[in-house]
Amino acid sequence: MIKFLDNNLHKIYKLSGYIAAIFLILVALFILIGISSRIFGFYIRGLAEYSGYCMASASFFALAYTFIEGGHIRITLFLEKFTGKKKWIIETWCLSVATFFSGYLAFYFIKMLIISFKFQERSEGADEILIWIPQTGVAIGSTIFFISVFHQFILNLNKH
């Protein structure tokens, strides 16, 4: 059962990485359309905002995949100095702190999303899009990141 859950969580993290890549492609596409529109003399409202929204979503969807693949800045230089029980204690402490803060982050992004949806807030940009739409990607990405950090914390606890 644990192996099944572990495998499915890794699939979610990989899917999150693919979604981040799609958002990065959208960023490039919106920027290219914006440049082209200026060259050909027409204006499309909100392209700069849309590329910013996609960049935020890409950043947060990439967090979990990058964390699991070991791409985040870590304390490995510090951890290399320790072995055995001391290393496990320090890793456990670091993962518990990271779990707390990533959970706090996810909680408040979800809370912000709910408030924006409830009050039907609109962006202040030229597009005046309902702000909960781009906030959804950030909230989902931060939640997947929290799950990935908590997952690593549980796996680390099972080492000893």
pTM attached to this predicted model:
0.89
Contact of 95 with 156, CB cutoff 8 Å:
yes
pLDDT tens column, 55-112? 999 999 999 999 998 877 766 777 778 888 888 998 899 899 999 999 999 999 999 9
Whole-number pLDDT of residue 6: 87
Whole-number pLDDT of residue 78: 75
Whole-number pLDDT of residue 82: 83
Weakest-pLDDT range from 32-36, 38-42, 69-73: 69-73
Nearest partner of 78 among 69, 62, 89, judged by Cα: 89
